[in-house]
Amino acid sequence: MIVRRVLSAGLLAALATAAVSACGAQSSEQPAGKAAAPAAASAPATAPAAADAPPVAITDPWVKTTKKGMSAAFGTLVNNTDSDITVVAGTSPLSPKIELHEVVDSKGKMIMRPKEGGFVIPARGTHQLQPGGDHIMLMGVTEEVKPGAQIPFTLTLKGGETLEFTAVGKDFAGGKEDYQPGKDMDMDKSHG
Ligand SMILES: [Cu+2]
């Protein structure tokens, strides 16, 4: 008898907890407009860092080493919110001009060009910046980037928020052809 009653009480408690969690996930309470609040309420058992995760982040950011001129920065953009996030611009003291690029197949030739609309990081998802794909294009590197160099970057999001990070200089030999301006683009002229 006693054991059964205790079990029932436990079950009820569990059900009640589940109900509360469900409510919390439905935006009934949003203290200080923190986007991360619903996730923290509904999934406390997941990675502890998730509770304090920034809305947007970048993992393993790096810059291709170069003497000067053009280079590119890469990494994995992470969106910790329930809405898509768009990166619309970037800056770095390393290069006065920076563009957000994509690599596309143009008549059988891989060329890069400014990505219209910027980089979209899907809600709760990631967006890869990698050689041969989307990248942060440094149009005119002003000083040599050596392996291990620490290069500060700031990305601007569509809403005006910013993401600051430090990318590490890294040698990368492959995929060089991807970073040569295509005939159709003539970047030197359009950005000179
Ligand atoms: Cu590029």
pLDDT for the residue 50 = 52
Q: State the distance from the centre of ligand 1 to the C-alpha of 51, rounded, in angstroms.
A: 35
pLDDT for the residue 155 = 98
Which burial class, exposed, middle or buried, applies to 71 when counting CB atoms under 10 A from its CB (0-12, 13-18, 19+)?
buried
Q: State the distance from the centre of ligand 1 to the C-alpha of 135, rounded, in angstroms.
A: 6
Rg (the chain; Cα; Å): 23
Mean per-residue pLDDT, 58-78: 96
Average pLDDT of the chain is 77
pLDDT for the residue 114 = 95
Q: State the distance from the centre of ligand 1 to the C-alpha of 136, rounded, in angstroms.
A: 7
Q: State the distance from the centre of ligand 1 to the C-alpha of 30, rounded, in angstroms.
A: 40
Q: State the distance from the centre of ligand 1 to the C-alpha of 172, rounded, in angstroms.
A: 15
Q: Which residue has the higher pLDDT, 135 or 181?
A: 135
Question: Across the chain, how many H-helices and E-strands are there?
Answer: 3, 10
Whether 103 and 137 have beta carbons less than 8 Å apart is answered as no
Q: State the distance from the centre of ligand 1 to the C-alpha of 84, rounded, in angstroms.
A: 23
Q: Under DSSP, is residue 137 helix (H, G, I), strand (E, B) or coil?
A: strand
Q: Which of 29-43, 49-63, 94-108, 173-187 is predicted most confidently?
A: 94-108
24 pLDDT band, cuts 50/70/90, is very low
What is the H or E stretch that residue 138 is in? strand 135-141
10 pLDDT band, cuts 50/70/90, is very low
Q: State the distance from the centre of ligand 1 to the C-alpha of 152, rounded, in angstroms.
A: 18
Q: State the distance from the centre of ligand 1 to the C-alpha of 60, rounded, in angstroms.
A: 19
53 pLDDT band, cuts 50/70/90, is confident
Mean per-residue pLDDT, 86-111: 95
Mean per-residue pLDDT, 62-75: 95
pLDDT for the residue 96 = 96
